[in-house]
């Protein structure tokens, strides 16, 4: 891709792989009741965008190792084999993990693993066939025990050359909540973050760029949701805001037409500046 391109090349032979890990049942933690709704709807939204979706329900570390053909000695980083796949003809990669969590960690059925083990195998130096391509990670899990009561807002009336990129470039990590805080989930309708993400991907995934989509997800979760648990005052009438860490260097469009339009707009902008 041209070093000055403002849009990622999403015209490869295939969209790419989307891996979803949904941890629902645990040996020592509460069951995430009806959490399969989240993985099912996210899988549907991603397939609609052209991804090859692989869904794994309740994988413990050994199961993850088996599914991804990882040896037992590699359990500390069970995602390493996926990074060894050839992604040359793919646009990008998506990995989503849904579970209980703490700051920096996620729980599997029988153990705990580091959240950053999801993306470190896919950095440009470790996975060359994804270098320069977007790698997108979505994490639905608590990141602590703090809660947010919110604050009321009153509206006022008034040319192709070789170039070097950092290893961690082209990665986006979207967390369901800010570090240190609870992540809310409705046992009937699903988690706030994943449900908002699915709605936005289904509605605007083929027309808007990803960061615009994620801004809408953040807005919907932050404004449209509030917990209702009068039997548990510590989590009653609480708010939540997703948190995004983006190292993306270009815009991500899942539609070829929208990508082409964005490129044309960028070229016109450069021409007007040159003039």
Longest dimension (CA), the chain: 66
Tokens at 68, concatenated? 């991804």
Contact assessment for residue 181 and residue 102, using Cβ atoms and an 8 Å cutoff: no
Tokens at 159, concatenated? 């040319």
Q: Which of 23, 100, 208, 220 is catalytic?
A: 100
CA separation for the pair 231, 87 (Å, rounded): 49
Q: Is 100 a residue of the active site?
A: yes
Q: Which of 127, 142, 198, 220 is catalytic?
A: 142
The three-state DSSP-derived secondary structure of 173-229 is EEECCCCCECCCEECCCEEHHHHHHHHHHHHHCCCCCHHHHHHHHHHHHHHHCCCCC
Contact assessment for residue 7 and residue 253, using Cβ atoms and an 8 Å cutoff: yes
Q: Is 198 a residue of the active site?
A: no
Closest residue by Cα to residue 210 from 269, 167, 259: 259
Helix (H, G, I), strand (E, B) or coil at 151: coil
Q: At 130, give phi and psi (nearest 5°).
A: -110, 5
Tokens at 89, concatenated? 């003809």
For the annotated catalytic residues, the residue numbers are 100, 142
């Amino acid at each position: 891709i041209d070093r000055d391109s403002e849009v990622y090349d999403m015209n490869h032979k295939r969209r790419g792989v989307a891996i979803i890990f949904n941890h629902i049942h645990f040996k020592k933690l509460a069951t995430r009741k009806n959490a399969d709704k989240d993985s099912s709807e996210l899988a549907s939204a991603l397939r609609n965008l052209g991804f090859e979706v692989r869904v794994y329900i309740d994988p413990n570390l050994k199961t993850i190792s088996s599914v991804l053909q990882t040896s037992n000695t590699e359990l500390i980083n069970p995602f390493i084999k996926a990074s060894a796949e050839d992604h040359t003809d793919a646009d990008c990669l998506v990995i989503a993990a849904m579970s209980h969590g703490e700051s920096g960690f996620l729980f599997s059925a029988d153990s705990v693993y580091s959240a950053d083990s999801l993306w470190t195998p896919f950095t440009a130096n470790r996975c060359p066939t994804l270098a320069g391509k977007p790698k997108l990670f979505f994490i639905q899990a608590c990141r602590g025990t703090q809660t947010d009561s919110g604050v009321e807002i009153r509206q006022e009336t008034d040319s192709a050359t070789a170039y070097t990129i950092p290893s961690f470039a082209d990665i986006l990590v979207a967390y369901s909540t800010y570090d240190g805080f609870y992540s809310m989930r409705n046992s009937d309708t699903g988690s706030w973050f994943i449900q908002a993400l699915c709605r936005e991907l289904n509605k605007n995934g083929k027309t808007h760029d990803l960061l615009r989509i994620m801004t809408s997800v953040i807005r919907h979760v932050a404004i449209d949701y509030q917990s209702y648990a009068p039997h548990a005052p510590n989590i009653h009438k609480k708010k939540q805001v997703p948190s995004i860490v983006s190292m993306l260097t270009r815009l991500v469009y899942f539609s070829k037409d929208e990508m082409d339009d964005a490129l044309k707009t960028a070229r016109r902008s450069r021409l007007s500046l040159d003039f």
